[in-house]
Structure 1
Amino acid sequence: MASHALSKLPPSTAHARSAHRPGLASSFGLPNAWLGARDFSLRSAGLACRPPRPRPIIATVAFSLPTAKPERVSSGENVPRWSRRAIKSFAMGELEARKLKYPTTGTEALLMGLLIEGTNSAAKLLRANGITLFKVREESMKLIPKGDMYFFSPEHPPLTEDCQRVLDWAVDHKLKSADGGEITTSHLLLGIWYEVDSLGHKILAALGFDDSKAKELESQISKPEYEG
C-alpha cells in the first residue's frame, strides 16, 4: 500500500518522504539520507557489508623470560635466545592463570600456555599422546580450585618457585648442549616434567606422560634442524 501511494506522488515528494524512512529508501534503491551517497555507493558495490578483517594478536612480552640468575645478564654471558613460540606460550600461561583467578603463574599454567599457543612442537607432542588443553585444565582445577569470583589476579601473576626453576632449567639445558639455536617450547615441557614435585609434572603423569616420552623428546631437540 505504501509503495502504491508513493507511486502517485510527484518524484520529488516520493524521494523526500523515503529519505526519512531508511528501510523504504533502500528498497527503492535510493541513497540513504542518513548514511550519505558514499556509503550508498559502497553498499551497492557489496563492500560495506563485509565485516572488518580481524587484526593479528601480538603478544606484548619481552624478548626473554624471567630468570632467578640475574648475574647471567650482568656478566654478559652469551645466553641463548628464547624462541618466539616459547615466549608466546609463557604469555598465554600468564593469561590462563588470570582467567582461572590464580594468584600466581605455576607450572600448570605454563603447561596450559603451551597448549593454548598450539602451533609449537611441545603442544603437538602432547596432543599426539592424548593430552589436550581441556584435560590439563580439568586436572589443574582438581588440584587448584578456581579462584573466588571477586578475586582479580595481577596483570602478571608472579611465578611460583617451581615455575621459575623450569625456566632456568631450560636455559641451563640449552647451554650445556652447546648446539646453538634457541630455547624452545620442548625445553619448557621437559623442564616441567623434570620438576617432579610441581603440579605440572603431576598433571602430565596423570594424563599418561612418562620418562620414555621425555627421553624421546630430549633426543629430538638435540638435532640441529629441530624447531620448537
Structure 2
Amino acid sequence: MAAAHSLSNPATTTQVIAQSRIKSKPSSSSSFLKPYSLQSPWLGIKLSVQSSKPRPRLPNHRQITATVSFSLPTAKPDRVASTEKVPKWSRRAIKSFAMSELEARKLRYPTTGTEAFPMGILVEGTSLASKFLRANGITLEKVREEAVKLLGKGDRFFFSPEHPPLTEAAQRALDWAVDQKLKSGDDGEITTTHLLLGVWSEVESPGHKILETLGFNDEKAKELISLSSEPGCVDG
C-alpha cells in the first residue's frame, strides 16, 4: 500500500527520482576529472585513462635540425683560415671515410689507419678511385686479407669504438689531400682520388705497403691523376 501510495502521489515520485540522481552523481567535479588506471596483463603496466574533457592547446615544439659535416678531421685547422673559400670533401669521400671506420671496427682494430682507407673507398664503390682500384685487380677482399697479414687479427673479445681514432699516418694522409687541393688552386671538392693518393704518400704506412703488394705504384698513381684531370671526368 505504501508503494502504491508513493506512486500515486506526484510529489513523492519527484522526491524519489531526485534522491536517486543525487546518489548516482559524483561526489565532486574534481574526482570526476581524475584519471583512473587499468592494469594491462600483456604489458604488465598500468595504463592511465584521462577524461574526455578537451585539453588546452599547447604551442608547437620547435623542430630539431641536424647539421651534416662536410669536412673530415684535420690536424691543421689554421691553414685555410686566410683563404676565401675553404675546400670541402665530396660526398663520396665522406662516405668512404665513414666506411673506413666501419671496416676498422669489423676487423676489431682500435684505430682507423691508412689500411682502412682503401677498404672504405672500395666499399663506397662509385668513385673514380674505387673503379680504378678494381680495374687494376685491387678488391676489398684482397685489401682486407693483406691488412690481416700485415697487422694481424683483432682480439675477438675487443669491441672497437664507434669512431676509432685516426692513426698519425692516417691523419697525415687526410692533411696531404687537403694540402694538394689547396696547392692546385682549382675549384671543386676534395675527392676520393685525393684520399687514395694521400695514403700512397705515406710510404711507411700499412696502407701504402698493402697497395704496393697488390700492384699499385707511382705509375698507377700518375695514371689516376691523369684520369681525374681529363675534361668531362666525374670524380668524387
Q: TM-score, normalised by structure 1?
A: 0.70
Per the alignment, do residues 111 and 83 of structure 1 end up closer, same or farther by CA in structure 2, a change over 3 Å counting?
same
Q: Separation in 1 of the partners of 2:148 and 2:81?
A: 39
Give 1:1-228 correspondences, 5 Å limit.
Answer: 62-72=69-79, 75=82, 78-223=85-230, 225-226=232-233, 227-228=235-236
State the Cα distance separating 1:151 from its structure 2 match. Answer: 0.7
State the Cα distance separating 1:140 from its structure 2 match. Answer: 0.2
C-alpha RMSD over aligned residues: 1.7
- Give the % identical residues: 73
Q: Contact conserved, 1:107 with 1:192, CA < 8 A, in 2?
A: yes
Q: Contact conserved, 1:61 with 1:87, CA < 8 A, in 2?
A: no
State the Cα distance separating 1:85 from its structure 2 match. Answer: 0.3
Q: Contact conserved, 1:61 with 1:91, CA < 8 A, in 2?
A: no
Q: Separation in 1 of the partners of 2:109 and 2:154?
A: 6
Which runs of no fewer than 5 residues in structure 2 stay unpaired? 1-66
Task: Tell me the alpha carbon deviations over residues 109-136 of structure 1, each in whole angstroms, 9 at most, x when there is no partner.
Answer: 1110001111111110000000000000
Higher helix share goes to which structure?
1
Residue 40 of structure 1 aligns with which residue? none
Q: Separation in 1 of the partners of 2:220 and 2:108?
A: 32
State the Cα distance separating 1:163 from its structure 2 match. Answer: 0.5
Q: Contact conserved, 2:128 with 2:228, CA < 8 A, in 1?
A: no
Per the alignment, do residues 77 and 143 of structure 1 end up closer, same or farther by CA in structure 2, a change over 3 Å counting?
farther
Letter in 2 for 1:133: L
The count of corresponding residues between Structure 1 and Structure 2 is 169
State the Cα distance separating 1:161 from its structure 2 match. Answer: 0.6
Task: Tell me the alpha carbon deviations over residues 72-129 of structure 1, each in whole angstroms, 9 at most, x when there is no partner.
Answer: 4655652211110000000000011011110000001111000111111111000000
Letter in 2 for 1:159: L
State the Cα distance separating 1:186 from its structure 2 match. Answer: 0.6
State the Cα distance separating 1:193 from its structure 2 match. Answer: 1.0
Per the alignment, do residues 95 and 142 of structure 1 end up closer, same or farther by CA in structure 2, a change over 3 Å counting?
same
SS in 1 for 2:115: helix
Q: Separation in 2 of the partners of 1:220 and 1:122?
A: 10
Task: Tell me the alpha carbon deviations over residues 28-84 of structure 1, each in whole angstroms, 9 at most, x when there is no partner.
Answer: xxxxxxxxxxxxxxxxxxxxxxxxxxxxxxxx9621100000214655652211110
Q: TM-score, normalised by structure 2?
A: 0.68
SS in 2 for 1:201: helix
